[in-house]
Amino acid sequence: MAILEVHNIEKNFGTLQVLQGISFSLEKGESMAIIGSSGSGKTTLLRCLNFLERPDNGKIMVNNEVIFDALDPCTQRESEVRKKRLHFGLVFQNFNLFPQYTALKNITLAAELLAKERPNFQKDKRIILKEIQEKGEMLLAQVGLSDKRDYYPHQLSGGQQQRVAIARALAMEPDILCFDEPTSALDPELTGEVLKVIRNLADRNTTMVIVTHEMAFARDVADRILFMDEGVIVEQGTPQEVFENPKEERTRQFLTRYNES
């Protein structure tokens, strides 16, 4: 059964149609890489999934539950947005860490804030916060930064900051982890350390949607490739199908430009 189903998503900014009839599904444990030129709608699609943008049309389902339907106002209540965002962890291009907090605090902050809403928080405060901190330390170890737990963002390299951002997204245990060009703000020598973390997540069967311009990485790591151009899905398939035997001329042209660059 698909963990994520996207049906006919459309998004307009004024008269500009950015997404047109976007439909796809994602199985639990599957990694999907979304590729395409700048301006093709890739980032807008991720922002719609995470409710940073509201689609103008279409439906989004997670675990067979409708979490957004453009025809059903009940699924669009602002009071429900935060809860629905918990389905999706989003790693941005530019880290977005809180500069006033340590690496560990950046990871645990959201969980601590949510914990305060638990009925038993005051009674079990010490136990709950200890569990959250231990989990944060485990995630730091997972991304190879145990020795940086007390460092502030300005004391970390770009690659280290992005690894903290990945750990922060994982801390909320999302159903689907989304990456928006996670290496685009990094120097080439730091790109590898972030891609290694994502590769390890794929090996652990983490369900992921990865917008990326790293074609070799997408080919090696993703279970499925989705190619977008001008707001539509032009082609999707396995890495072998899309990279070695693309069916659509637009896909072939894009890959040719990439190979020549």
pLDDT at residue number 80: 81
Alpha helices in the chain (DSSP H): 42-49, 78-85, 103-115, 125-142, 158-171, 188-203, 215-221, 239, 249-260
17-61 pLDDT tens trace: 999 999 999 999 999 999 999 999 999 999 999 999 999 999 999
pLDDT at residue number 24: 97
Q: Read off the amino acid at residue 156.
A: L
Percent of the chain clearing pLDDT 70 (strictly above): 99
Is pLDDT at 261 greater than 90 in this prediction?
Answer: no
Mean pLDDT of the chain: 94
Contact (Cβ atoms closer than 8 angstroms) between residue 133 and residue 112: no
Quick one: pLDDT band at residue 164, thresholds 50, 70, 90?
very high
Is pLDDT at 259 greater than 90 in this prediction?
Answer: no
pLDDT at residue number 227: 98
The average pLDDT across 68-87 equals 88
Q: What are phi and psi of 220, to 5 degrees?
A: -80, -30
pTM comes to: 0.93
- Rounded CA-CA distance 19/12 in Å is 7
Nearest alpha-carbon partner for 186 in 177, 197, 178: 197
Structure tokens at 44: 């807008």
Percent of the chain clearing pLDDT 90 (strictly above): 87
pLDDT at residue number 155: 98
The average pLDDT across 184-191 equals 90
99-143 pLDDT tens trace: 999 999 999 999 999 899 889 988 899 999 999 999 999 999 999
C-alpha dihedral, 224 to 204 to 138 to 99, nearest 10°: -10
**What secondary structure letter does DSSP report for 242?**
I
- Rounded CA-CA distance 21/13 in Å is 15
Structure tokens at 90: 């989003």
